[in-house]
Structure 1
Amino acid sequence: MKTIEYTKYQIHSAAALFPPMSDGEFAELMADIGTNGQQMPILVYRNKIVDGRERLRACHKLGIEPVYKDVGKLDVPTSAFIVSQNLHRRHLSDSQRAMIAAKLSNTKKGTNQHTAEAVSQKQAASACNVSVDSLQRASKVLESGHEDLIQSVESGELDVSNAATLITLPREELDDLVQRSAKEMIARAKKERDEARDELRKRKLEQIDKTRKNSQPFDHGVGPFNVIYADPPWDYIPEVQLGYPAMKLDAICDLLRGSKAVSPDAVLFLWVPASLIAEGLKVIEAWGFRYITHAIWHKGESGMGSYFRMAHEVLMFATRGSTAIPEVPTGARPGSVFSYRRGMHSQKPEELYWVIERMYPELPKMELFRRGVSRDGWYSWGNEVQHGPATPLGQQIVDAMAVEPVAGELTEMVEAGDAVNDLEPQAA
């Protein structure tokens, strides 16, 4: 009798990206091969099995000689090829695919992503049809090293979002919890998220109250100014989501109504959420201006929205007075669409200051609702104006990241181009 060699090829280590078949799935595979024979060959690359380890195991159990096929040259990393061969055949949940993507990704920001076998997080997430956020949550679960918790996700018993929440528990408590039912684990994860969300909300409200207490009445004795640049804190979604104190429309309208701080001859640049154009026109009228035109800030990638996924914001332009305002030089007239990347939440492009300064270099300028240190040559007013040296952008980002989003919470806040009725949770 011919001896069948089942260890002719080693199994590629990347095959471990996929969890083994369940007993039921393997029994079905054995039954199919036993009845119909091995219809799909076991794929080999550089003397290692890259696809078909379960078929090999079934052949061994049945005493059938396996059929192999060498794939030759690969145009993609070996691990990516293994994923492409297996993903469409396995009925895996989003969380299981996220775990595979996390294992598949072998490069991180700042590392060499140009080697032959390098797979970035974005590439791995795309290959497994999951979001980068889901991949990163899966990475945290894997990095925890808690084998029982990892097994719960890879088996499909627990989703990766809940697992990522549970890894913050003390080790002994987590050890006990994973021995219980998935229902209990999910309930505990929800409790942890709710408590963290409540704490985050409390911290945000405390910061908003602190900022509000810093408010100073507007000094109508300053100026007069010929250029007004304003980014009002429109009251269109809850302050806890905005992250700063909002103002009612009437209060915004009253701010410069009849103010001597504004020259009789002046221009106004007014930021308005895309869904609050009508309110912007009311402010323009209340401040004694007439609407002329507007520009669009294209923010790059689309955000959220119930009707349109918002990717822009409106900068309204208005004038008042006679022809005393100098004409904008032809070479200083910008296009009506500005394409600048989003910054931190509600932050407007720094480049807009340069645009305005080129348009009206000689006129006195005032910025309302300024955040940070006043810009050289400008008068600034607002409850977030800093007095002293500017906080470097890098430190601003570090400070912003210090408040870690709660798992499952909306982490990319709607920018000022999205109205309250445009808010819609985005799938992780």
Structure 2
Amino acid sequence: MTVATALPLHPLALLLPELPEAEHEGLTASIAKHGQLTPATSWVSPDGVEWLIDGRHRARACEQLGVPLRVERLDGDQAAARAFVLGANVLRRHLTPSQRAAAASALATRGRGESGSTAASLTQTQAAAAAGVSERLVRAARTFATDEELTDAVIRGELTVTEAERRARGALRLQLSRESETQEWLTPWSIVEGVVRALGCIDGDPCAEPGRRIPASWHLTEDDDALRRSWENPDGTASRVFLNPPWDRAHQFVRRLLAEHDGGHVEQAVVLLPARLGSDYVTALTVRGYPRVELTGRLKFEPGRGATRTGRGEAHFASMLVGVGVALEAMHEAFGDQGVVVQAWATTPA
């Protein structure tokens, strides 16, 4: 146990909303009368800085009263700090499932390849367990994770996860409806929505059209030469990718996807391909046991450059979706209404 007059606030300490002023006044009065019964918690980052990660309201009350803050130091890595903050606040506060899910989503940032003591963050499964909510609700919260206003509104209790998810999808639809015409036939929006549900979010689009229509954090167009670029996120974490490659070069992009996945640069991916069973690239995916969706009917693409806004381009052959590193259940939940979901026995290590 240590005593501190001031410690810098770590962003983790600011994850959940402020206490209502009446509750804060009650806390201050209690500390004035009985002393600080529960210590705050600090954590030392790898660069040696000691941060306050829990107890900002106790720190504010002690500062107002002119008394030192009692602090206990948490040992462990950043993942341990994240788990502590989430678990402590969920247990201490009366939060709705949506508030807990939004907080868990904000902390669930572990990429593929991070494990054990080297991991700096949490998986969605770990964050959901710490928050006491379903992983499905955490995945839903990921759909608006990059929208600070929606995330803050959910954490403040002003919106549910379902309402925020609906608004986020509506904003994306509006954005797409306002786009100028391009020269391509574009991925149907129903497929894009399914990919977001299956992955939680789309980090990268390595085969983006010039308009960068897919709602991803980063895009690689033809000018970027994706076959020579890494597909990991700019911060070095493993990405979640949607891949709709030029179908005459599908075999090249599938080989690259598998190499990026095996190398830990891509955590999960959904790839849209011609359903050419027996082709090299389909076989390379099938033998690993990755689930695939054999889409019903011929895929109808959205109009792009060179097409009327009312036109729809129909593929001349069947299409399929393959989930690389994606669970069979997630593919069925996302695409079960668009085709048949199948999975082969894996004959080589995934």
Instruction: Please state which band the TM-score falls in when normalised by the shorter chain.
Output: 0.3 to 0.5
TM-score (norm 2): 0.46
Larger radius of gyration: 1
TM-score (norm 1): 0.38
